[in-house]
Structure 1
Amino acid sequence: MSSATRTSVPNSEAVNRGYNFASTWEQNAPLTEQQQAAIVALSHAVVERPFPSKLSQGNISKENNGLSVSTKPGNVEESGEIDGVLVNTNQFYKWFTDLEAAMKSETEEKYQQYVNTLTERIQTCDGILQKVDETLDLFNELQMQHQVVATKTKTLHDACDRMVIEKQRLIEFADSLRSKLNYFDELENVATSFYSSNTSVASENFLPQLKKLDECISYVENNPQYAESNVYLVKFRQLQSRALGMIRAHVLSVLKSSTSQVQAALRGSGGNKAAVSEGVETSILYVRFEAAASELKPVLEEIERRSSRKEYVQILSECHRIYCEQRLSLIKGIVSQRISEYSKKETLPSLTRSGCAYLMQVCQQEHQLFDKFFPSTSEDSSSLAPLVDPLCTFLYDTLRPKFLHEANLDALCELVDILKIEVIGEQLSRRSESLAGIRPTLDRILADIHERLTFRARTHIRDEIANYLPLDEDLNYPAKLEQSAESKSDPSSIDQSSDVFKTWYPPLEKTVSCLSKLYNCLEQAVFTGLAQEAVEFCSVSIQKASKLVAKRSSQMDGQLFLIKHLLILREQIAPFDIEFSVTHKELDFSHLLEHLRRILRGQTSLFDWSSTTTSLARTLSPRVLESQIDAKKELEKNLKATCEEFIMSVTKSVVDPMLSFVTKVTAVRVALSSGAQNQKLESAMGKPLKDQAFASPDKVAEIIQKVNAAMQNELPRVMEKMKLYLQNPSTRTILFKPIKTNIIEAHEQVLSLLTKEYSQEEITNINMVSIAELQAQLDKLV
C-alpha cells in the first residue's frame, strides 16, 4: 500500500482505539520465542512469490535471443494477460513495467476495498459510539433523576416511620400513664372495701384486695418522684395496718374459740384436765385445733408467702405468739402435772428418762400441729419457742434441785450417759427437726450436771485421795498380798478379780475408778484438769503410804509397795488419750512489799509519774506467775527414783562386803598415788595388798563367805518379795536385770584384784565362785 493510500485512510477515533489496543496488546502480550520462530519461517516461505495463475510459462517463448509475448486484445487489467513479442530490452522493460503496474493495480484494488470496508465500519462504529455516548448521557440524567426521586421517597418513608414510632411511643406512654394511674386510683377502691361494714377476713375479696394494696405500696415506694407519692404511701399504709389488724383479730378470734371449745371438752370429759388419758387428750387437744388450722390456712399462707416484707414479718410473729399463748394455756397444766407425778414415783435416772421422753413426745405433737398452721416457718425452732421453753422449764425446774443434791459420782455419771447418749444422741438425733426447740434445755441440764459432777469429782479427789487416812488393814503389807496369793491358789475361790483390787492401796483404786467414770462424761479440758489432780494426789498418797509400810514391815516392803502401785497407776492411766500437764497461773504481790518499804523510807513517792520510775498502775498490778505441772512425768520420775533406790538397796544387801572391800582398796591406792606425808602411814601402805590387815586372805575369804551366804539366803528372799509384789514376770526381769549386773560387776572387780594381788593357792582358799557359775545361779532366781 502506497503512502498516498495510507494517508487517505481517515484518522478516526476507532482507528486510534485500535492502534492503542494493538500497542497495548503488543506490550502486555509479547510473543514467545516459538511464536517468533514461526513468523520467521513464514516470512522465508513467502519471499519468492509465484506468478499469477493467469500467467503461464507457455505464453513466454524464446526466439532468437529474444522474448515473444503473446497479448490478447482487451483490457490488460480485465484479463490480466499481455500478448506480444518482446524483441529487445526496451520492450521487455516496458512489458515488465506494464506487468508490474497491472499486478500492483490488481493488489491495491483488494486492499483498497478492504480499506473502504474498514473505513465504512469505522464510521459506523463512530456513529454507534456517538449514539452510545448520547444514550449514556441520557442514562446518567435518568439515574440522577432516579436518585432524586429515591431520596425524596426515602425521606418520605423515614418521616412516616418516625411518625409511626412516635405514635407507638405515645400509645405506650398513654398505656403506661394509665397503668401508673391505676395504682393511685386503687386507693378509693381498696379504702371502700376495707372500710365497709360487710368486709371480713374470711370473705373472698379480702385477700385479692390485700394483694392489690401491697402492689400499690410497693409501686409508690419504688417511685417516690411522683407527685404526692408520700401522701398516697401514708394512706396505703394506713389501709394495710387496718387490714393486718383485721387479720390479727381474726386469728385471735379463731384460736380463742378453739381454746374455749377444748377447755369445755376437757371439763366435760373429766372435770380435771390434768387427769385426762392420753388418747382423749390427743383427741381433744389436737384434733379440734386441726379444724382451726384448716380455717386459717388461706390467710396464714398469704402472710407466710409475703414474709419478706417487714410488716408481714411482724404480723406473722404476732400470730406465732398468739398461737403459742393459746396452746400454752391448754397444755401447761397437763405437762406440769405429768412431770410432777413422775418426780414423786421415780428415781432420778428414771425421772430423767421418762421426763425427757414425755417432753419430747409433747414437743413433737406440738410441732406437727404448728406445721399445719404455719407450714413455711415451722422449721424455725424459735417460732415455737414461746410454747416449748415454758414446757421445758417444768422439766428443768424438777430435775435441777434433785441432781444438785446428788453426791454420788456413779449416779451423776449415769445421768450424763442418759442425757448424752440415750436422749440427745439417739432420740433427739432421729427427730432433730421437730425437737430442735427442746435441745437448748437438754444442753442446759447436761451442762448443769457436768458442773455438779466436776464439783463432786474435785471433792472426791480431795477427800478420798489427797486427804485419805489409811487404816491398819490398808498398810498390812505384805500380809494382804500373801492372803491374795493363797486365795488364788485355793480352787474354791471364785471371785479372784476382786481380790486384785483388794490388794491395791485404796486411793489408787479410787483414782482409777474415778477417772474411768469421768473420762466419757466430761469434756476433755475439764477431765484433763481433774485427771492431773487425781494422779498427782494419788502419787503423793502412795508415797506417804510407802513410808508407813516401811515402818511397819521393812524398807524393802515400802519400796516394793511404792513400785507396785506406781506401776499400776501408770498402766491404768495409759489408755486415757490426754495430756496430764496443767498450767497453773498465780498472782504474785511480793514486789509490792518492797515498793511500800521504799515509799515509807522516803526513797520514792507514791505520786511520782516520771519516766525513770515505774508507773503507779504497773507498780500496784500483780505479776502473773505461770507454772506447768505434768503429773505423768512426775509419776515416771518418782517411779524411776524408787526403782533405782530399790536396786541399790538390794545390791548393797547382797554384795555390800565386796563393795566396802573395793572401796577401801581404791582409797589406799588413791592415797599412795597422792603421796603420804606420815612416814609411818607410808610404810604401812607400802606393803602389798594381801599384807594389809583388811585385805588378808582370811579377811577376803570371810567377805566372800558373807556374800555367798547373802546370795543363798537374802537374794532368794528378795526374789520372793518381788514375786509377791510384782506379779508380771517381765516387770520382775526388768527390775532384777540391773541388780544382777551390779552383783556380777562387784564379783568381777574383786576377782580382778585377787588375780593381780594374790597367789593361786590363796585364791583357791578364798573359794570365790566363777563368773559363769554366778550368772547361772542368778538366772535360776528369775
Structure 2
Amino acid sequence: MATKPASATLPKSAAISKGYNFASTWEQNAPLTEQQQAAIATLSHAVAERPFPANLSHEHISGRENGLSVNTKDNTWEDSGAIETVLVNTNQFYKWFTDLESAMKSETEEKYRHYVNTLTERIQTCDDILHQVDATLDLFNELQLQHQAVATKTKTLHDACDRLLVEKQRLIEFAEALRSKLNYFDELENVATSFYSPNMNVGNENFLPLLKRLDECISYVESNPQYAESSVYLVKFRQLQSRALGMIRSHVVSVLKSASSQVQAAIRSSGGSKAAVSESVEASVIYVRFKAAASELKPLLEDIESRSSRKEYVQILSECHRLYCEQRFSLIRGIVHQRISEFAKKEALPSLTRSGCAYLMQVCQLEHQLFDHFFPSSSEDISNLAPLIDPLCTYLYDTLRPKLIHETNLDFLCELIDILKVEVLGEQISRRGESLAGLRPTLHRILADVHERLTFRARTHIRDEIANYLPSEDDLDYPAKLEQSAESKSGTTSADENPDVFKTWYPPLEKTLSCLSKLYRCLEPAVFTGLAQEAVEVCSLSIQKASKLVVKRSSPMDGQLFLIKHLLILREQIAPFDIEFSVTHKELDFSHLLEHLRRILRGQASLFDWSRSTSLARTLSPRVLESQIDAKKELEKSLKATCEEFIMSVTKLVVDPMLSFVTKVTAVKVALSSGSQNQKLDSVMAKPLKDQAFATPDKVAELVQKVSASLQQELPKVMEKMKLYLQNPSTRTILFKPIKTNIVEAHIQVQSLLKSEYTPEEVQSTINMVSIQDLQAQLDHLL
C-alpha cells in the first residue's frame, strides 16, 4: 500500500484521532519494558529494511472500497503528512489494517511456504524412495525364502550323506567284527594243520604262539556258546589243546630224564657212586650241572606258569611239578639217605638231630633254589615242592623215631626239644624264610614225638623216682646231714662260698624240682600243668612219709622241722611256674548199676520203661563224677598244719606247767559256778585258790621255776634247731612269732591269777615271776 504525504493543512480524521488516543491510552495503561521496547525497535529496523510486497506499488496504494487511497512517501507514520483516501470510519480503517496485515503476513510467510513446499517435495521424494525400498525388501524377502528353501534342501542332502557315511562305517565295522569272529573259527584248520605237521614239536619256535592262539580261540568259543556249532568247534579245539599239552608233558619228561642221565654220568666219571658222592661233587654236579642241562625247559615252564589262570594249565603245571620232583628225588634220595645213615652211626641222638636237620636244611635250600630256577612263579607255594622234600625228610624221621622210642634220658629229650624248637624252628627256618618251610611238617612231627616220649618218661620218672622212692639211711639222717653241711659251710674258704644246697634236700624234692624245671620250657602249658600237679602232689606225700621216718629215727621236732623245711622249699620253688595247679578229674561211676538190676529182677521195675528212671538206658548209663584237686592248696594246707603242730609242741615244751595250772584253775572256777552235790568236794573247793594243794605259793613258784628253766635251756635248743633247718631269718621270725605270743600270753594269764588270788608279798618274795617286759626282751634276744 502506497501513501502520499498529507498536507499540513489537512485536518486529521476523527478515526485517526481516536486511534491515536487509543494508542496513547494503551501506552499509558500498558507501558512496555525496556527489553520489549528494544525488541520493537529491532523489529522496526528489520521491517524498515524489507521491500514492499510485489502486489503493492512503491508510489501509491489504491483502494477499491469508497475510492479511498493512501499515498505515503516516507517509512514512518509520523512523517506521512498526506493520505489519498480519507478513512472516514472505523470499519474502513479495520479493513485497511486487515489488508495491510494480510500483506505483511503473506510477505512474512513466503519463505515458510517455500520451505514447506521444499519439505513437501522432499517428503514426496522420500515416499517414492520408501516405495522403492519396500519393493526391494519384498524382493529381498522372496530371495531369503528361496535361500532358506535351498539351504533346507542342502542340509537334508548333507544329513542324508552323513547317514549314508555312518551306515557305511557301521557296515564296515560289522563286516570287520564278523570277520574277526569268524577268524577264531577259521583258525581251527590252520592250527590243526600246524599241530599235526610232522615237523611240529615243543622246541619249534611256532609252537608257543600257536598254543597261545589256540587258547584264545577256546576262550572265545567258550564265552560265546550262542554261535552255531560253537560246541563242535570247542571239542575240536580242546582235542588240539590236549594234544599240545601231551607234547609238553612228553618233552618235559624227556628233558628231565636226559638231565638226570647227564648228572649220573658226571657222578660216575668223578669216581663215586650216587650214594657215596662227596659234598663238593654234590654241589657242583647234582645242582649246577642239572640246572645247565635242563635250562631249555625254563622258557616253556615260564610260559605255562603265565597261563596258570586256566585249569588246563594248572593241571599240566602240577604235572610238571610232580615230574620234576620225581626226577630230583630219584637223583638225590640215595645221597640223602647215605648222609643221614652216616650221622646215625657216628653221633648220639641230640647231635644226630642237629646234624640231620642242618643237612636237610642245606638240601632243602638248594632244592628250593633249583626249583625257583625252573618255576619262578610257583616257588612261593611250598606245597609244590612237597613231593620231593617230604620223602627226604622222612629219612631223618625214620632214623630218629626208633632212637626216640628207646631214649630214657630226660636231659637228652629236653635237649632235643630245645634243638628242634629253638635252634631249628625258631632260628634257622624263621631266618631263612620260605625256602625251608617245607621242613616244618616233618620237624613238627618229630617234635610231637619227642613231646610224647618226654611226657611218658616224665610220668615214669615221677612214679619211680618220687612216688615209689625208697629212702636210704643217709637220706633220713637228720639233723646230722644239716650239721655236716653247716660245718662244711663254715669251713669253706672264700673261693668256695656256695656249697651244693641240694645235698641237704630230701632226694625226691630235688628230683621233683629238677624235673619240673626241665619240663617247664619243653612241654605245652596244658601238658606241663598236669605233670606239675601230679609231681607236686606226689612229692608232698613223699616228704610227709619221710618226715614220719625222721620222727622215728630222731625226734618229733626234727620230723616237724624236716617237713616244714621241705614244704617251704617246694612252695617257693614252684612259685615261678605261671600255671594253675588245679586239675579236675572225671571218672565214671557204675555203683548204682547193681541196685537197679536187683530191682528189675525182683519185678519192682521194668527193663523197657523208658519214662522211668529205672529204664535200661538210665540203668546202664554211668554217672560222671568230677573231683578237683589243687596240689598247691593241698601243699599250703599241709604246711599250715605242720607249722601249727610245731608251734603248739614248742609252746607246750616251754610253758606246759603254766598251761596245766591255768587249766586246773579254770576247772575249779567252772565247778564252783555250776554248783555240786558233794559236800566234801564243796568244802574243798570253797577254799581260796592259794590254799588249794596244786596252787600254793610254793607250787606256783615251782612251776614258774620250771618254765624259767625251759626258757633258758630248752627254748635256745629249739631256736638252734630252727636255724639248722630254716636258714632264712625271716622264715624263722614268722614261725617264732606265734610261739612268742603263746609264751607271753601264758605268763600274762598266770600273772593275772597271781594278782587276783595272791598277796603282793607272796608274788614278789615266794613266786618271784619275771615281768612281761623282761620276758619279751629275753625272747627277742633268742632271734
Indicate whether the TM-score tops 0.5. Answer: yes
The equivalent residue for 1:558 is 559
- What CA distance in whole angstroms lies between the structure 1 residues aligned with 2:558 and 2:615? 60
- What CA distance in whole angstroms lies between the structure 2 residues aligned with 1:125 and 1:48? 45
The equivalent residue for 1:386 is 387
- What CA distance in whole angstroms lies between the structure 1 residues aligned with 2:166 and 2:286? 68
Identity across aligned pairs (percent)?
79
Give the aligned residue type for 1:83. Answer: W
Residues 1:662 and 1:51: Cα distance change in structure 2 (over 3 Å): farther
The equivalent residue for 1:30 is none
Confirm or deny that 1:214 pairs with 2:215.
yes
Residue pair 2:610, 2:617 contacting (<8 A) in 1 also: no
The equivalent residue for 2:480 is 479
Residues 1:113 and 1:515: Cα distance change in structure 2 (over 3 Å): farther
Residue pair 2:255, 2:294 contacting (<8 A) in 1 also: no
- What CA distance in whole angstroms lies between the structure 2 residues aligned with 1:625 and 1:107? 152
- What CA distance in whole angstroms lies between the structure 2 residues aligned with 1:330 and 1:263? 8
1:55 Cα deviation from its structure 2 partner: 4.4
Residues 1:51 and 1:758: Cα distance change in structure 2 (over 3 Å): farther
- What CA distance in whole angstroms lies between the structure 2 residues aligned with 1:531 and 1:571? 14
Q: How does 1:219-298 map to 2 (within 5 A)?
A: 219-270=220-271, 272-298=273-299
The equivalent residue for 2:53 is none
Q: How does 1:424-573 map to 2 (within 5 A)?
A: 424-491=425-492, 497=498, 499-573=500-574
The equivalent residue for 1:421 is 422
Confirm or deny that 1:83 pairs with 2:77.
yes
Confirm or deny that 1:54 pairs with 2:48.
no
Residues 1:580 and 1:100: Cα distance change in structure 2 (over 3 Å): farther
More displaced stretch, 122-131 vs 85-94? 85-94
The equivalent residue for 1:635 is 635
1:715 Cα deviation from its structure 2 partner: 0.7
The secondary structure found in structure 2 opposite 1:290 is helix
- What CA distance in whole angstroms lies between the structure 1 residues aligned with 2:447 and 2:675? 81
Deviations for 1:306-349, whole angstroms, at most 9, x for unmatched residues?
Answer: 12211111111111221221222121112112211221121111
- What CA distance in whole angstroms lies between the structure 2 residues aligned with 1:776 and 1:295? 99
- What CA distance in whole angstroms lies between the structure 2 residues aligned with 1:88 and 1:670? 191
Give the aligned residue type for 2:698. Answer: D
The secondary structure found in structure 2 opposite 1:582 is strand
Residue pair 1:72, 1:82 contacting (<8 A) in 2 also: no
1:128 Cα deviation from its structure 2 partner: 7.3
Residue pair 2:606, 2:615 contacting (<8 A) in 1 also: no
The equivalent residue for 2:691 is 691
More displaced stretch, 548-557 vs 427-436? 427-436
The equivalent residue for 1:626 is 626
The equivalent residue for 1:718 is 718
The equivalent residue for 2:29 is none
Structure 1 residues not aligned, in runs of 5+: 1-43, 60-70
1:660 Cα deviation from its structure 2 partner: 2.1
Residues 1:726 and 1:102: Cα distance change in structure 2 (over 3 Å): farther
The equivalent residue for 1:744 is 744
The secondary structure found in structure 2 opposite 1:743 is helix
The equivalent residue for 1:759 is 759
- What CA distance in whole angstroms lies between the structure 2 residues aligned with 1:355 and 1:752? 83
The secondary structure found in structure 2 opposite 1:474 is coil
The two structures have a TM-score, normalised by structure 1, of 0.85
Q: Which has the larger radius of gyration?
A: 2
Give the aligned residue type for 1:350. Answer: S
Residues 1:150 and 1:696: Cα distance change in structure 2 (over 3 Å): farther
The equivalent residue for 1:317 is 318
- What CA distance in whole angstroms lies between the structure 2 residues aligned with 1:645 and 1:111? 160
1:590 Cα deviation from its structure 2 partner: 3.3
- What CA distance in whole angstroms lies between the structure 2 residues aligned with 1:754 and 1:425? 77
- What CA distance in whole angstroms lies between the structure 1 residues aligned with 2:428 and 2:103? 143
The equivalent residue for 1:600 is 601
1:260 Cα deviation from its structure 2 partner: 2.1
- What CA distance in whole angstroms lies between the structure 2 residues aligned with 1:751 and 1:332? 94
- What CA distance in whole angstroms lies between the structure 1 residues aligned with 2:538 and 2:618? 37
The equivalent residue for 2:27 is none
Residues 1:91 and 1:274: Cα distance change in structure 2 (over 3 Å): same
1:351 Cα deviation from its structure 2 partner: 1.2
Residue pair 2:659, 2:746 contacting (<8 A) in 1 also: yes
Deviations for 1:245-277, whole angstroms, at most 9, x for unmatched residues?
Answer: 111111111111222222233334335332222
The secondary structure found in structure 2 opposite 1:584 is strand
Q: How does 1:129-208 map to 2 (within 5 A)?
A: 141-208=142-209
The two structures have a TM-score, normalised by structure 2, of 0.85
The secondary structure found in structure 1 opposite 2:433 is coil
1:280 Cα deviation from its structure 2 partner: 2.2
The secondary structure found in structure 1 opposite 2:294 is helix
Give the aligned residue type for 1:537. Answer: V
Residues 1:267 and 1:245: Cα distance change in structure 2 (over 3 Å): same
Residues 1:729 and 1:145: Cα distance change in structure 2 (over 3 Å): same
More displaced stretch, 515-524 vs 375-384? 375-384
1:97 Cα deviation from its structure 2 partner: 7.9
- What CA distance in whole angstroms lies between the structure 2 residues aligned with 1:80 and 1:602? 186
More displaced stretch, 476-485 vs 665-674? 665-674
- What CA distance in whole angstroms lies between the structure 2 residues aligned with 1:92 and 1:658? 189
- What CA distance in whole angstroms lies between the structure 2 residues aligned with 1:721 and 1:298? 87
Give the aligned residue type for 2:636. Answer: E
The Cα RMSD (Å) is 3.4
Residues 1:166 and 1:662: Cα distance change in structure 2 (over 3 Å): same
Give the aligned residue type for 1:399. Answer: L
Give the aligned residue type for 1:629. Answer: I
- What CA distance in whole angstroms lies between the structure 2 residues aligned with 1:710 and 1:318? 94
- What CA distance in whole angstroms lies between the structure 2 residues aligned with 1:476 and 1:516? 27
The secondary structure found in structure 2 opposite 1:768 is coil
Residue pair 2:613, 2:619 contacting (<8 A) in 1 also: no
The secondary structure found in structure 2 opposite 1:298 is helix
1:241 Cα deviation from its structure 2 partner: 0.9
- What CA distance in whole angstroms lies between the structure 2 residues aligned with 1:659 and 1:403? 65
The secondary structure found in structure 2 opposite 1:625 is strand
- What CA distance in whole angstroms lies between the structure 2 residues aligned with 1:133 and 1:591? 133
The secondary structure found in structure 2 opposite 1:435 is helix
1:714 Cα deviation from its structure 2 partner: 1.2
Residues 1:92 and 1:47: Cα distance change in structure 2 (over 3 Å): farther
The equivalent residue for 1:702 is 702
Residues 1:662 and 1:134: Cα distance change in structure 2 (over 3 Å): farther
The secondary structure found in structure 2 opposite 1:307 is coil
1:708 Cα deviation from its structure 2 partner: 0.7
